[in-house]
Structure 1
């Protein structure tokens, strides 16, 4: 089991990466892939969208070219990955992310099951945000929309941003 302080530390680490990618980014404003990508933009971060079925995503009238997978990122070793995919997709996505050296992962609620979470904790010790605990608010785990701002500010206060 991961403690809240461990999760807060991992969340701060997430924001120290040079790059952020959003797996499951979407142009559909009713989907979390849209809302989370828009959250990053609103916080002056420009992530790379990962979406194998679309050449771009449109967020608030602006197009962003997608990549099809973590292996297609320009510098995966300096990238944190925000995951908004169903568990069946998440498992394979995380395996590829680990293989290419993604440094930190934020698993949104609903993207994992027990086995995926256990595997990811071993793959990214101290660098995985996600779990069945409450997060800082709410009851479905750590969500960038709820917990991201506090984690980003903590990373800034640490002098890492």
Structure 2
């Protein structure tokens, strides 16, 4: 055996070998996985979601008499618009609680499919008795739009600025 054998000379260890004293060149280090900006199933961009949120908030009437009929419950409350706002804020990480269950998940690992199923259950199975089916419609349309490039935007008309 020689005195300069690699197992006796830590400086001679192969790059990346446990116990090596020489740093591994950056080119050989594995690249860190990029952080996800949005929940996994969302195909719309953050900018599109932010624009939808802003347009929905701007569409909230200052006067309850001046509302868009399509987003009003029979009592005249624009509860569907609240579903859109709550859902976009949740998908953007601005709201902790899921639209129906009020459960908290670590962002961006949100149970988007479960929220969609909860909306379906509210609309068609009459579950979630404390939640309006109009709210559920806003949630469902927002999730459908956010997960597909083929769906119509949940609000009427093009986004502001288009």
Fold-level similarity (TM above 0.5): no
TM-score (norm 2): 0.29
Comparing both chains, which one has the higher relative contact order based on Cα–Cα distances under 8 Å and sequence gaps of 6 or more? 1
TM-score (norm 1): 0.29
Larger radius of gyration: 2
Bigger proportion of residues as strand? 1
